[in-house]
Chains A and B, each alone.
Chain A
Amino acid sequence: MSGWRFTLTSEPPERLDLSPLIPERLAGLSAGEIEHVVLCTTRIGTRVADVFTVAAIEAGDRVEFGGGSTRFDDLGHGMTRGTIVVEGACGQRLGRLMSGGAITVRGNAGGWAGSGIRGGTIEIGGDAGERLGGPLAGERTGMNGGTMLVRGRAGDRAGDRMRRGLIVVEGAAGTYAGSRMIAGTLVVCGAAGSLPGYLMRRGTMLLARTRDGLPPTFARVGDADLVFMRLLARALATLSPPAARLAARKLERYAGDMATLGKGELFLAG
């Protein structure tokens, strides 16, 4: 089974629904069939051939995008295996509900990247938009497994309603990082915006620093030299050296959010 390379020929005339272009859904299709796949989200009716040239590549179970656009929505939606690489930016809901495989985006990603993902890994070379891993309106849980790595900054409410898995933001995070977390681990190597951990129930946040301090509903526990942090630092070492260095620093532990269950923990570098 060969992979496919989609080279962007012109800026899309409308927002695109790229969910059909995942390795498992392209398996067994010919280049001609792929060119007719509908990507439109409006009455313009954009098909693959309207914006991409399609070429088979040797690497199997792999989809590459030559060039990117903030109009690339729903990229990697629900994928369970294989690899997607985007040599540019992408739009909203990158890798939403994926359960396996790997997505790499070299540029920025829009809002809700990794929304509700259950497994697999997403790496964003640039910045991520708001609600990284978060649920869409009406959903009860956000990220539910897997790993996300953001080399740049993350927008507001990174890790909103996260229930399982690991998010590492190597840059800064917006306001309400880790809001309403149910469980899981969120690491922010830059500064976190106002009210980190807002209404978190359980879970672990690891922050290098904050812009405006911690919410008043977090209780200081004290210096923490925990065996668990050694395990986390080791796991982070291959994924993100800055995050691993942060986990190895002297950390102070806070419990919260006391405005809700309060079984969450927030580690702040000293």
Chain B
Amino acid sequence: MPDVTRNGVVVRDTFAEAFDMVGTALIITAPSRRWAMQAAVTMTGFATSIIACGVEAGIDRELTGAETPDGRPGVRVLLCAGSVEELQKQVANRVGQCVLTSPGSACYAGLDGKERVKVGDALRYFADGWQISKRIGGRRYWRLPVMDGEFVCEGSTGLTRAAVGGGNLILMGRKAQAVLLAAETAVAAMGKVADAITPFPGGIVRSGSKVGSRYKGLFASSNDAYCPTLRGVTKSELEQDATSVLEIVIDGLTSGAVADAMRAGLAAATELGPERGAAWIGAGNYGGNLGKHHYRLMELLA
């Protein structure tokens, strides 16, 4: 199939290749939106890629008091990892260091599921014997005395093995500013999709990577095919007048969520047109043999 031009933007006939992950979700609440968001931002910090962060995490959405278990403002965060063990370790460390410590916070399960990740069940020992277990409406909560009162934390949260990581769009353009606007616009559109996150800074990654390296011990290295300064000296994927490339990586609790996010991002980016936004849109893959999930851009174009 040839490339398709949509609103002047060339959408390449290629696909994003994504991988199975294990994922979970948490709901963080606080006395105010500001502090719920602060705890969520802190606990999802340094969680861009499992290459070195252990987990990929981000904010799914803000919740009103009517949507949270305790009636206070909240934020739902998603975390995806390569294994259940790593996910468990990351959830306990991040909630323990970033949510437990945040003023007025509480933490609840954000996902149902038979398989569980320990949250309060792992953190309760912080209370040094003063922890209180309460079972309310079939759910177990731990109450840990802390200096501003009590940290309430649900015992565990659900786990899904159907999570997908690595959905992506690669936005290429003639001006750096325009590509950034396209990426920002696409990330904003993806933010409205439930159960999906864009874990990189502001949802955007400017240093897309390829698998492997010429150096021993490095698993990933700069994606030279998309580096404008290497055009001509490497097998480039870029058009002659492309000067800037940004990538958006999407993780989701389901494959459908990743597809929905990519569809939303694609629509938002193409709507800007090639002058204000990206002139070419592609996606990253490894030939199709590494990841189980393939998202063809042609099929995502409405």
Contact = CB atoms under 8 A, between A and B. Distances in A.
Interface of A: 164-166, 183, 185, 202, 204, 225-228, 230-232, 234-235, 263, 265
Contacts of A165: 135
Contacts of A231: 69-70, 134, 136, 141, 152
A225 B152 CA distance: 13
Across chains A and B, which 7 residue pairs bring their CB atoms closest together, nearest first? Answer: A230-B70, A227-B152, A235-B136, A235-B137, A227-B106, A227-B70, A228-B143
Nearest to B68: A230
B224 interface: no
A164 B135 contact: yes
B71 interface: yes
Given A228-B141, A231-B152, A234-B70, 4 more contacts: A204-B134, A227-B29, A227-B149, A231-B134
Given A228-B152, A235-B137, A202 B69 contact: no
Contact of A185 (B70, B71, B130, B134): B134
A232 B141 CA distance: 11
Interface of A is mostly: mixed
Interface residues of B, number: 18
B132 interface: yes
Interface in B207-249: none
A232 B70 contact: no
Contacts of B106: 227
Contact of B136 (A225, A232, A265): A232
A226 B136 contact: no
B271 interface: no
Given A228-B141, A228-B150, A202 B132 contact: yes
B88 interface: no
Contacts of B152: 226-228, 231
Contacts of A226: 143, 149-150, 152
8 contacts: A183-B133, A227-B149, A228-B134, A230-B72, A231-B134, A234-B69, A234-B70, A263-B130
Nearest to A145: B135
A234 B134 contact: no
Interface in B120-158: 130, 132-137, 141, 143, 149-150, 152
A265 B145 CA distance: 13
B224 to A, nearest CB: 51
A267 to B, nearest CB: 13
A180 B136 CA distance: 21
A73 B134 CA distance: 32
A171 B147 CA distance: 36
Nearest to A233: B71
B141 to A, nearest CB: 7
A225 B72 CA distance: 13
B132 to A, nearest CB: 7
Point out which of B130, B133, B143 has the most chain A C-beta atoms below 10 A from its C-beta.
B143
Contacts of B134: 185, 204, 228, 231-232
Point out which of A166, A225, A231, A263 has the most chain B C-beta atoms below 10 A from its C-beta.
A231
A235 B72 CA distance: 15
Interface string B88-116: 00000000000000000010000000000
Contact of A234 (B71, B135, B143, B149): B71
Contacts of B136: 166, 231-232, 235
Contacts of A185: 134
A186 to B, nearest CB: 13
Contacts of B141: 228, 231
B78 to A, nearest CB: 23
Contacts of B72: 227, 230
Point out which of B29, B70, B141 has the most chain A C-beta atoms below 10 A from its C-beta.
B70
